[in-house]
Amino acid sequence: MVAVTKLVFIPHTFIIIMKALYLARFIACMHVLVLHYGWKRTEPALIQGMLSHGEIGPSFFIVLSGYTLARLYNNETHWPGFKTFLWRRFARVYPLYFLSGILIIPFKAVQWCDVAFFTATQQWAEVCNQWRNAPAWAVSHEIFFYVAVFPLLREFMQRQRNPRFVAFFGLALSYGAAVMLALFFYLWNPNSWWKFFPLVRVPQFAFGFFLAVCAPVIPNVARNYKRILAWTPLLSYIVLLGFLAIQDVSSFSGVYPFHVVGLLEPWYGFIIWQLSHIDDSHPIYCSRVAVVLGKLSYAAYILQTPLYWIIGSAMGGGWLFIGLIVSEAFVVLRFVEEPVRAFLLHRPRVIENVLIL
């Protein structure tokens, strides 16, 4: 009976989770790019509300990261071991991360903080906060989660006799912690480094992890309610945009609003859970275009700053530059990211080709 309460892994469900979430991953990345290069502060108020909330991207992805890792590896059968797990994450994340730092060297002299940057630990101390490649703070957080958070959460859940019951409490606690931390920094010192400290984002990651454990997994839901389910993620996203549109951004100064960082975690999780049950043959969410866009989103995110230094500053940013970032990311995906990852993994399994993280 104990095994029944643990998360059940079904091969078909693997593909559903990975493929249906690609488009959402790309949209989350676009929120960041639009904030950095597309928002001109001259748009109508409602449009500005939607364009200025780029923090949706990192927060959504952190929740998604915890959710997907739990669905993949919380079961002992699919756990490859800690060293193999870290090597797979290294092969997925680090090559482009390293490339982003190298490309910026001609524009920013090498200093001792580069030791922290190239080990992806620059966010673990205030002195090197957002060094060299500012958006890379999210990658530094992910490395922290891979090394120190996910293995502990996984080991903790493996020891529980009723993991789903425990996960419900973990879900509530992590959400409460996320809200309290976000509200605290928003009211206390919104420009402080602490909001970029990995420990502050642990509740977001934990929320996604516990959601994957306690949320019901219904393998046949996409088959039985395919037409209805296909619309629910889109409608949820429209509601999210509507909520952001009515926010006042007249005094925006680059500070992440606490409602985006903390209060919206359940909505991110709700969208992720819906997408995880979309049939893998869906013509939109799981189309070839959606999968490619999702795969190139990491390259677009991590290489946006080097590309801006190289050509974007002369262009003044803008929507054309965002299109250039996406085009560059596609080339990097095909000729750099995928070949290097295949080389590092030697003989990559099929699941590695659809892994969303």
Cα-to-chain-centroid distance, residue 194: 19
Q: Cβ of 172: how many Cβ atoms within 10 Å?
A: 12
CB 141 within 8 A of CB 121: no
Q: How far apart are CA 178 and CA 157, in angstroms?
A: 20
Return the pLDDT at 148: 95
pLDDT > 90 in the chain, percent:
46
Return the pLDDT at 12: 37
Rounded to 5°, the CA angle 20-147-88 comes to 50
pLDDT digits (tens, 9 = 90+) for 41-62: 777 777 777 777 788 888 899 9
pLDDT confidence bin for 335, thresholds 50/70/90: very high
Q: How far apart are CA 173 and CA 337, in angstroms?
A: 37
Judge if pTM exceeds 0.95: no
What does the mean pLDDT of the chain come to?
82
Residues near 86 by Cβ (< 8 Å), separated by ≥ 6? 146, 147
Q: Cβ of 217: how many Cβ atoms within 10 Å?
A: 17
pLDDT confidence bin for 254, thresholds 50/70/90: very low
pLDDT digits (tens, 9 = 90+) for 190-247: 666 777 889 989 999 999 999 999 876 655 554 556 666 678 888 899 888 888 777 7
Q: How far apart are CA 85 and CA 79, in angstroms?
A: 8
Return the pLDDT at 246: 78
To which residue do tokens 């020891």 refer? 159
